[in-house]
Amino acid sequence: MKPVINIVWLKRDVRLHDHPPLYAAIQAKKPVLLLYCFETGLIEKSVYSERHWRFVTEGLRDLYIQIRKVQKHNVQVVYGDLISLLKDLCLYFTIDTIFSSQETGIKWTFDRDKTILKYSREQRIKWHQYSTDGIRRAIKNRINWISDWYNYMSQPIQEINIASAQLLELPSMLKKKYDASVFTRKIEDRPVHFQKGGETEGFKYLNTFLSGRFLKYMKQISKPQLSRESCSRLSPYLAWGHLSLRYVYQQSKKVNTENPRGKYIRGFLDRLRWRSHFMQKFEDEIEMEYRPLNKGYINFKLEDNEDFIRRWKKGQTGIPLVDACMRCLITTGYLNFRMRAMLVSFFTHHLLQDWKIAAEHLGALFLDFEPGIHYPQIQMQAGITGINAIRIYNPVKQSQDHDAAGVFIKTWVPELQNTSKEHIHCPWEQAPLLQLWSSNDYPKPIVDVDKAARIAREYLWSLRKDQSIKNEAKRILKIHAIPRVKRYKKVKK
């Protein structure tokens, strides 16, 4: 007789606090295989990159250290194809139940989940999936969505006693066959500017934010330099599940109600809800990964300009704020919201390039890549939803408004080190000799910003008149919009 076991399959939830699948598995009182798989098929997707897997590896290391203090066995980390691993495991064990979080992922993970479901049904393995961040599966509209979300966020958090779990090791043959070090040893050391992964590190960011950084949150949220300190910087911990959204919400709510200056955290609490709102949108229409939410836009194709694409990707457009943002992102994996929006707007509007190219490039660069936020935000900023306001960010004005002294620009574009405060936002306006002396190594602007914006505006508004786009806009509002009455009705927060 093979031993009967349960599996906790860790996905984007490598942590020990607020972990419903792990809690349920411990309650089930059977031996548990606590498993994380670096999946070869997912790793191959070009929207994922080394920086993501390094962050996950750091999270797993942190988990390992925590468990080691109280347990003989530990989390089992493997590399390969999950279905073949499950098949191999069935040779050694009778798997009773798989416990996991529900994942709002890309098409690849959605298809993988369908394969796992089919296999587990064939093998009579139960699979219990638990909602992530208040996202619900297969809903038809957003009636009651907000009150359900607040309800989820206010549920008490179950205490995980990992010492009481009967953790298992993988059979040595399988350890060898699915050896994760084959993959993780290729991941280079973390460059100094990147945030470090792990639950313990996530708590540190949360604590410093709640004990004071939040006070300047709204005041500095749009500033490319200052926001790096005053925004929470929790996004990679939330995206990879090293922190639970519910835990962050409850701790922040406490500050909101108990701290005399708690009103300054309101904007942050709203954004935690927006996070789930966007993820729900993606959950309901995952095709957004590769086609516009508004299908009317499918017929309107833009021509690739390889030179534009290459220069934008490298931060060589000749527009200082655009280049500073891209170079900063390449080196640190982080940008605040407004600068992300501006990068997408510049690419899709001023350069008139395809949003999918921006989605892939930026997804691989954002340390906090979260498909559920990323794809809806890219499409919204590209102006192809048909329901949101069309917003064309002027990169020169953004620069003057949010980096007036050019501190951020000079940090990331050293070629402009000697350019005056007056010309740092548009060095092309300097007198020719001054240009030669102060910014000769810096490229000339790729487009005329004002002219390009004018052309884009006319183009985007002409598309809005298309009947298929208008029809689609109605469909989108029906499914994805939160009904007005409900939106403003008092909900228990």
Binding site for ligand FAD (CB under 6 A): 231-235, 238-239, 268, 271-272, 274-275, 278, 336-337, 340-341, 344, 366, 368-370, 373-374, 377-378, 381
Shortest distance in whole angstroms from residue 136 CB to ligand FAD: 17
Select 127 or 152, whichever has its Cβ closest to ligand FAD. 152
Shortest distance in whole angstroms from residue 283 CB to ligand FAD: 14
Shortest distance in whole angstroms from residue 366 CB to ligand FAD: 5
Q: Which two tokens stand for residue 472?
A: 């689609």
**Ramachandran category for residue 137: left, alpha or beta (phi over 0 → left; psi -120 to 50 → alpha):** beta
Query: To which residue do tokens 């002219």 refer?
Result: 451
Shortest distance in whole angstroms from residue 335 CB to ligand FAD: 7
- Amino acid at the residue 348: T
Shortest distance in whole angstroms from residue 105 CB to ligand FAD: 12
- What are 129's strand-pairing partners? 100
Cite the DSSP H helix spans in 211-265.
217-220, 227-230, 235-239, 245-258
Select 97 or 336, whichever has its Cβ closest to ligand FAD. 336
Shortest distance in whole angstroms from residue 59 CB to ligand FAD: 15
- What are 32's strand-pairing partners? 6, 167
CA–CA–CA angle 489, 491, 493 (5° rounding): 145
CA–CA–CA angle 247, 253, 257 (5° rounding): 150
Shortest distance in whole angstroms from residue 355 CB to ligand FAD: 9
CB atoms < 10 A from the CB of 346, how many?
Answer: 31
Select 33 or 248, whichever has its Cβ closest to ligand FAD. 248
Select 5 or 272, whichever has its Cβ closest to ligand FAD. 272
Shortest distance in whole angstroms from residue 273 CB to ligand FAD: 9
Select 85 or 272, whichever has its Cβ closest to ligand FAD. 272
- Amino acid at the residue 173: M
Q: CB of 73 within 8 A of CB of 115? A: no
* % helix, strand, coil for the chain, step of 5: 55, 5, 35
Q: Please list, in sequence order, all residues whose beta carbon lies within 8 angstroms of the beta carbon of residue 451, skipping any fewer than 6 positions away.
A: none
Bridging pattern class, strands 94-101 and 76-80? unpaired
Select 113 or 368, whichever has its Cβ closest to ligand FAD. 368
d(C-alpha 125, C-alpha 45), whole Å: 29
Select 106 or 272, whichever has its Cβ closest to ligand FAD. 272
CB atoms < 10 A from the CB of 470, how many?
Answer: 13
Shortest distance in whole angstroms from residue 308 CB to ligand FAD: 18
CB atoms < 10 A from the CB of 178, how many?
Answer: 22
Select 229 or 450, whichever has its Cβ closest to ligand FAD. 229
Shortest distance in whole angstroms from residue 209 CB to ligand FAD: 7
CA 143 to chain CA centroid, Å, is 26
Query: To which residue do tokens 């009904």 refer?
Result: 483
Shortest distance in whole angstroms from residue 249 CB to ligand FAD: 10
Cite the DSSP H helix spans in 145-198.
145-154, 172-177, 181-184
Torsion angle of the four alpha carbons 44, 80, 235, 148, in this order, in degrees rounded to the nearest 10: 110
Between helix 266-284 and helix 467-480 the angle, nearest 10°, is: 120
Select 76 or 348, whichever has its Cβ closest to ligand FAD. 348
